[in-house]
Amino acid sequence: MQLLVVEVLRGWPGRSGASCGSWCLLGGVESKRCHPASRNVRDPSGPGCAGVVGDNSPGSHYCGFRRQRSAVQRQRDLISHSQITRLYSRFTSLDKGENGTLSREDFQRIPELAINPLGDRIINAFFPEGEDQVNFRGFMRTLAHFRPIEDNEKSKDQNGPEPLNSRSNKLHFAFRLYDLDKDDKISRDELLQVLRMMVGVNISDEQLGSIADRTIQEADQDGDSAISFAEFVKVLEKVDVEQKMSIRFLH
Partner 1 sequence: LDYQHVQVPFEITLWIMLASLAKIGFHLYNKLPSVVPESCLLIFVGLIMGGIIYGLNDRSPPVMDTDIFFLYLLPPIVLDAGYFMPSRPFFENIGTILLYAVVGTIWNVFGIGFSLYGICQVKAFRLQDVSLLHNLLFGSLIAAVDPVAVLAVFEEIHVNEKLHILVFGESLLNDAVTVVLYKLFRSFCEMPTIKSVDVFAGVGKFFVVGLGGVLVGLTFGMTAAFTTRFTKDIRVIEPLFVFLYSYLSYLTAEMFHLSGIVAIIACAMGMKRYVEANISLKSHTTVKYFMKMWSSVSDTLIFIFLGVSTIGENHEWNWPYICFTVIFCLVWRALGVLVLTFFVNRFHVNTITSKDQFIIAYGGLRGAICFSLVFLLPDFRRKKLFIAATTVVILFTVFVQGMTIRPLVDLLAVKRKRESAPTVGEQIHIRFLDHLLAGIEDISGHWGQYYWKDKLEYFNSKYLQKLLLREYDQPKSSIVLLYEKLERKHAIELAEAGQLGHTLSHPSLLNNDRTVVTEKKLEDALDPDVLENIQEILARNLYRIRRTGPAYSRHTLPGETEPAKEILILRHKSL
Binding site for partner 1 (CB under 8 A): 13-14, 86-87, 89-90, 93-94, 96, 107, 109-120, 122, 126, 143, 146, 174, 177-178, 188-189, 192-205, 207-211, 213-215, 217-219, 225, 232, 235-236, 238-239, 241, 244-245, 247-251
Residue 160 CB, nearest approach to partner 1 (Å): 25
Q: Which is nearer to partner 1, 31 or 83 (CB)?
A: 83
Enumerate residues 6+ apart whose C-beta is below 8 A from 148: 165, 242, 246, 247, 248
Element housing 198 (H / E):
helix 188-198
Q: Which is nearer to partner 1, 68 or 82 (CB)?
A: 82
Identify whether the C-beta of residue 15 lies closer than 8 Å to the C-beta of residue 92: yes
Residue 40 CB, nearest approach to partner 1 (Å): 25
CA–centroid distance for 184 within its chain: 19
Residue 231 CB, nearest approach to partner 1 (Å): 9
Q: Which is nearer to partner 1, 52 or 231 (CB)?
A: 231
Q: Which is nearer to partner 1, 158 or 202 (CB)?
A: 202
Provide the 10 A C-beta neighbour count for residue 17. Answer: 11
Q: Which is nearer to partner 1, 90 or 156 (CB)?
A: 90
- Amino acid identity of residue 148, one-letter, is P
Residue 235 CB, nearest approach to partner 1 (Å): 5
- Cα separation, 45 vs 51, in Å, equals 9
Q: Is 172 exposed, middle or buried (0-12, 13-18, 19+ CB in 10 A)?
A: middle
Residue 91 CB, nearest approach to partner 1 (Å): 9
Q: Which is nearer to partner 1, 40 or 246 (CB)?
A: 246
Residue 89 CB, nearest approach to partner 1 (Å): 6
- Cα separation, 172 vs 146, in Å, equals 12
Output the CA torsion sign for 152, 30, 135, 48.
Answer: negative
- Cα torsion at 145, 150, 153, 158 (round to 10°)? 40
Residue 205 CB, nearest approach to partner 1 (Å): 5
Provide the 10 A C-beta neighbour count for residue 170. Answer: 20
- Cα separation, 139 vs 146, in Å, equals 12
Q: Which is nearer to partner 1, 99 or 116 (CB)?
A: 116
